[in-house]
Chains A and B, each alone.
Chain A
């Protein structure tokens, strides 16, 4: 079964607004990664946060990780129409090597 549940399933915002997506998981992890997928395309790696890290930034992206709650959030600030895509969290489980288990995904639509 999938490790991660993401919420919301779909999110529609106006350009310039911030978008927040949440991911929850069930078991102990080594790291958690966020990916973007444009419709019918491959995945683009956005950011990796390790289990001993609490927050990480990359450009307009901010990721938090709360291992006590087994949850992570991805914040995209000042969103653009080009940010429209599906966003997935993926966890590398403790003892699972480099295998990733993907969450259910959030479909983000940024409207002009």
Chain B
């Protein structure tokens, strides 16, 4: 149990376009999900906390108008990178916490975004 999927696994887009990444908890409900980005050979940096039914909470330095997060159901959060630029190329990883069972985060397999 506790499987989290991400779609797509890889995406290449042109500069100036928008890209949507989905994060799904497949066998549990997740009131809270998190979005991270990871540059090559670096650690994960938390971008935002996604809360079902309410606005996401963004970390300092993360532009909320550029990285749109929607958590419309207990099993789905989406991250839309708007007007993407090459510097947005990164590995985006989501995680989810089981509703009511706190602490452990279950991570998705990640999405590799390349902006040309």
Please give the residue numbers on chain A whose beta carbons come within 8 Å of chain B beta carbons, in ascending order.
Answer: 2, 31, 33, 35, 40-45, 48, 88, 92, 97-105
A45 with B105: CB separation less than 8 A: yes
Whole-angstrom distance between the Cβ of A46 and the nearest chain B Cβ: 11
Interface residues of B in 47-65 (CB under 8 A from A): 49
A-B contact pairs, 8 of them (CB 8 A): A40-B110, A42-B110, A45-B106, A92-B103, A98-B97, A99-B34, A99-B46, A99-B49
Among candidates A33, A92, A99, A105, residue contacting B43 with C-beta atoms closer than 8 Å:
A105
Given contacts A43-B107, A45-B105, A99-B49, contact A2 B43 (CB under 8 A): yes
Q: Tell whether A101 pairs with B93 under 8 Å between CB atoms, given A41-B109, A42-B108.
A: no
Out of A42, A92, A97, A103, which one reaches B93, CB within 8 Å? A42
A43 to B38, CA, bound (A): 12
Q: Enumerate the 3 nearest inter-chain pairs by beta-carbon distance, A residue then B residue, closest first.
A: A43-B107, A42-B109, A42-B107
Chain B residues near A43 (CB-CB < 8 A)? 44, 93, 95, 107
| Given A42-B93, A45-B104, A88 contacting B49 (CB threshold 8 A) | no
**Given A88-B44, A103-B43, A48 and B49 touching (CB < 8 A)?**
no
Cβ–Cβ < 8 Å partners of B32 in chain A: 98
Which secondary structure characterizes the binding site on chain A? strand
> A41-B109, A41-B110 in contact; A98/B43 too (CB < 8 A)?
no
The answer for the CA separation of A44 and B4 in the assembled complex, in Å, is: 11
Please provide the chain B residues from 84 to 116 with a CB less than 8 Å away from any CB of chain A in the complex.
Answer: 91, 93, 95, 97, 102-110, 112
User: In the assembled complex, how far is the CB of residue A38 from the closest CB belonging to chain B, in whole angstroms?
Assistant: 10
Q: Which residues of B contact A45 (CB under 8 A)?
A: 104-107
Contact check, B110 vs A101: say whether CB atoms are below 8 A apart: no
CB A2 to nearest CB in B, in angstroms, measures 6
Check A100–B107 contact: CB distance below 8 A: no
Asked if A48 and B44 sit within 8 Å, CB to CB, the answer is: no
Interface centre among A33, A48, A100, A103 (most CB of B within 10 A): A100
For residue A88, which residue of chain B has the nearest CB? B43
Mark out the residues of chain B between 21 and 41 whose CB falls within 8 Å of any chain A CB in the assembled complex. Answer: 32, 34, 36
